[in-house]
A and B are shown apart, each in its own frame.
Chain A
């Protein structure tokens, strides 16, 4: 089954639309769903032109395609998604794929903050950039992402994979400040530069194939390792936090 949601032009164009109902599973029982613009409840078809092709009886067989102007203000798309596929032909708003446990979300444009927050399984592919707190935890600092994969082909913002405890996050471009802060498990890979990686880490592995700017002084240099054809410098830390995580960087600079 393929559900196409094409956004209609909206009058109050900047109020975000919370659309946690947009999860493949929900379309198994039709398209009579609600979304919210601010404090107003709207029918799905007030916001989108809805087209359904084919049918399905399990989420795995549902693909939701979102398109149109203004998709960047759609929040919470794919929240608690457990199977199927969501494709966004453009940008997506905050909290896409929160608490996701299965299935695939593919975003052709950029993703706003908190992409895949507290994700436990499944796959998110972001072809553009991801904003702050990609694959992070929630306020209060417990476990962030615990499983699944997030792959960002552009850049990522600050606090990437904050508090990550499991799963894999891969960013092909640069990442911002505090990538992998409070990390205690899982794997974070940044293909280009980032700043202050793995601050306060307890465990897990963080790879920076570019330069770690503002490298923290509390990581203990162990030596060098070969990793997928690259020579990386291996650190253990964060010593300030009694951490036993692994940080691998190609190059680093202290703020001395």
Chain B
């Protein structure tokens, strides 16, 4: 199924943003908030892993039902998980499409990676794992 992915701020993202190597930050920014009917359709229960595939690749997140999100849309807090699949094009404005990406979702048995793993996948070296 394809969805419109919107990213944005949440209180929990803000609370953990100064401690990006924490489990809490990883948990918050790897949450895929969705409509409960969409979850039913995909056979997902809260906190089930879901593979999200965007224009630049794929990343595993955890699905959580939210009354704020309409059907056909997912909401992901700003952070390295969403950015793992967001395209860098800015339409020559400097600003990527952080709030308008078409993504595909499918349930998966894989676990979400840690922030360190995501960074190392892209050529970084974790400091304090």
* Residues of chain A having any CB pair with chain B under 8 Å: 113-114, 131-133, 157-159, 176-177
Contact = CB atoms under 8 A, between A and B. Distances in A.
B129 interface: no
B66 to A, nearest CB: 24
Interface in B19-61: none
Interface residues of B, number: 2
Given A114-B92, A157-B91, 12 more contacts: A113-B92, A131-B92, A132-B91, A132-B92, A133-B92, A157-B92, A158-B91, A158-B92, A159-B91, A159-B92, A176-B91, A177-B91
B73 to A, nearest CB: 15
A77 B92 CA distance: 19
- Give the dominant DSSP class at A's interface: loop
Contacts of B91: 132, 157-159, 176-177
14 contacts: A113-B92, A114-B92, A131-B92, A132-B91, A132-B92, A133-B92, A157-B91, A157-B92, A158-B91, A158-B92, A159-B91, A159-B92, A176-B91, A177-B91
Interface string B85-120: 000000110000000000000000000000000000
A131 B93 CA distance: 12
A131 B62 CA distance: 37
A177 B92 CA distance: 12
A-B pairs, top 6 by smallest CB distance, nearest first, are A132-B92, A158-B91, A113-B92, A133-B92, A132-B91, A131-B92
Contacts of A114: 92
Nearest to B91: A158
A177 B100 CA distance: 14
Nearest to A177: B91
A133 B94 CA distance: 13
A187 B69 CA distance: 42
